[in-house]
Amino acid sequence: MLPDAAAVAGEAAAEFERVARAACAKQGAFRVALAGGTTPRLTYELLADARGPHIKAIPWPQVHVFFGDERQVAPDSRLSNIGMACETLLRHVPIPGGQIHRMRGENPDPDRAAEEYEEILREAFRIGARELPRFDLILLGLGKDGHTASLFPGSTGLDETQRLAIATRAPVEPSGRITLTLPVLNAAAEAMILVTGAGKASAFARVRAGGTDLPAARLRPDNGTLLWLADRAAAGGSA
């Protein structure tokens, strides 16, 4: 475990750079799905820091950005995942605009927005109707209730096996969400989950115990890596 949230962000930024450089060297592109919420903010800020080591080391023109989930809000809302990513990262790095693929949270029909995102994924990854996109890296977080992306406990979306993206509901406002499904998350080459703060300790302990009752406990890449980065507070004070 890492000592604090700053250390988690530092490790996450370093891993982001490592995977990005390896993917670009191997295949000429790096396909990443970003997380929203508060936890990844510092990671994005470190990646975009003009005085930091990552901004010059990552081949940004070869980066293709997607999102793990989005709230049903306008992109300029303070609650928008794309809004936060733009503020902290995307406006500060030279990624071509056509390589940033956002979910249309402002669409009043979230089911249609999810269908549109599935179409975007199939075109971007050049996959057929029964294939799954294979992200080089998916960034995720862990909610106090054990949710990840916008897959919440008790959601029927947890049993989805055919769709790439679905509309779902959160127990807090704004409740309308669009999210990637578990099969997509588990098809990634690497899923990296950031967990910080004592408020996540209970959920993190349950996931570590091996139970499957929480959505995050069902993150099990089929042929990839699952990397948990947690600080001491989230780990309940353990070393």
Q: Where are the domains of the chain?
A: 5-175+186-196+222-228
CA 3, CA 8: separation in Å to the nearest integer? 8
- pLDDT values of the chain reduced to their tens digit, one per residue, 239 residues: 899 999 999 999 999 999 999 999 999 999 999 999 899 999 999 999 999 999 999 999 999 999 999 999 999 999 999 999 999 999 999 999 999 999 999 999 999 999 999 999 999 999 999 999 999 999 999 999 999 999 999 999 999 999 999 999 999 999 999 999 999 999 999 999 999 999 999 999 999 998 778 999 999 999 999 999 999 999 986 54
- Decide the pairing of beta strands 137-141 and 30-34: parallel
Residue 87 buriedness (CB in 10 A; 0-12 / 13-18 / 19+): middle
* Residue 146 Rama label (left phi>0; alpha psi -120 to 50; beta): left
CA 34, CA 137: separation in Å to the nearest integer? 9
CA 39, CA 47: separation in Å to the nearest integer? 14
Q: What is the pTM of this model?
A: 0.96
User: Domain 5-175+186-196+222-228 carries which CATH code?
Assistant: 3.40.50.1360
On the CB side of 144, how many CA atoms lie within 13 Å of its CA? 6
Kindly state the tokens that stand for 238: 């353990």
